[in-house]
Amino acid sequence: MNFADIFLLSGSGLVAGAVNALAGGGTIFTFSALVAVGLPAVTANATSAVSVLPGQIASTTAYRREIAVAFRRLLPFSIISAIGGIAGSFLLLNTDESAFRAL
């Protein structure tokens, strides 16, 4: 790994954190940067998801009062998201790299 790769990955991490703090969707930057430096797409996807986790935890902690107020409205969405996440993880782990790249 050279200096340009390190700079790209660090910069994408900073941009992803800023985008996630405002609106979400920062993994588009981290995933793209990880693929650009040569990681396989499935590995880049998993690494990207883990890399933005601290920011998601911090955001959840910062908005805990708002979440508590809206808990009843958020619960069905949380359940659906958990089911989708489990199904997506299963598909990710059981799909060829080439199929994942095509999608």
Each residue of 28-77: pLDDT tens digit?
999 999 999 999 998 998 899 888 888 888 888 988 999 999 999 999 99
Domain boundaries, the chain: 3-102
pTM for this prediction: 0.77
Measured CA distances, 55 to 12, 26, 30, 46, 75 (Å): 14, 10, 13, 16, 21
Percent of all residues in the chain with a pLDDT value above 90, rounded to a whole number:
49
